[in-house]
Amino acid sequence: FIIPTYGFGVPHQEWINVIEKLREIDFSGKDVGLIGRGNQGFYAATFVNGMKPIYDVLLEKNANIVGETSIEGYDFVKSTAVVNGKFIGLVLDEMFMLKEIKDRLNNWLIENFEEDLNEK
Ligand SMILES: Cc1cc2nc3c(=O)[nH]c(=O)nc-3n(C[C@H](O)[C@H](O)[C@H](O)COP(=O)(O)O)c2cc1C
C-alpha cells in the first residue's frame, strides 16, 4: 500500500475514505508492505505520519507486515511511522531524496517481494 501524507500528518483523503472498508477485510496469511510518501524538510515533525493509521488497521486485521526499514540517512524531527526504532515500511521523499528513490524502491521490492515479482 502506498500512502502519501497530507494535511500535517494524515493519510491522503483517498485513504481516509477507505479506511473503514479496510477494517472489513481479514488479512490473515497475507504479507503486506507499506510505502510512505512524504517530505522530511517541510513536514519534519509529522514526517510520513499518514502511514500509521493504515498500519494499525492492518495489524488489527492480522496482516503480516513486512519491509520495515532503517531511519538512517533521513533527517526529520518526529514520525509516528517509526515503531521500535524503525520505519514501518519504505519511506520515499521525492523532494529531499529524489536521487535515492529508484534504488531504494528496487532494493526494497527485491528484499521483501522477490517471489511475488518472479510470479508476474
Ligand atoms: C498540504 C500538504 C500537506 C503535507 N503534509 C505532509 C506531512 O504532514 N508529512 C509529510 O511527510 N509530508 C507531507 N506532505 C508532502 C507529501 O506527502 C509529499 O509531497 C508526497 O510526495 C505526496 O505524494 P503524492 O504525490 O503521491 O500525493 C504534504 C504535502 C502537502 C501538499
- The sign one gets for the Cα dihedral 47, 48, 53, 56 is negative
- What is the domain extent for residue 109? 2-114
Q: Report the distance separating Cα 65 and Cα 83, nearest Å.
A: 12
Residues 107-117: pLDDT tens digits?
Answer: 999 999 998 88
What is the CB < 6 Å shell around ligand 1?
A: 4-9, 12, 37-39, 43, 46-49, 94
Residue 115 pLDDT: 85
Tell me, in angstroms, the distance from the centre of ligand 1 to residue 39's CA: 6
Q: How many domains does the chain have?
A: 1
What is the CATH number for 88?
3.40.50.360
Residues 26-56: pLDDT tens digits?
Answer: 999 999 999 999 999 999 999 999 999 999 9
Judge whether 44 lies within some domain. Answer: yes
| 62 C-beta neighbours (distance < 10 Å), count | 12
Look at phi and psi of residue 47 and say left if phi exceeds 0, alpha if psi is from -120 to 50, else beta.
beta
Question: What b/e readout covers 97-110, taking b as 16+ CB neighbours within 10 angstroms?
Answer: beeeeeebeeebbe
Judge whether 41 lies within some domain. Answer: yes
Which residue, judged by its Cα, is nearest atom 30 of ligand 1? 6
Closest alpha carbon to 54 in 5, 102, 93: 5
Judge whether 119 lies within some domain. Answer: no
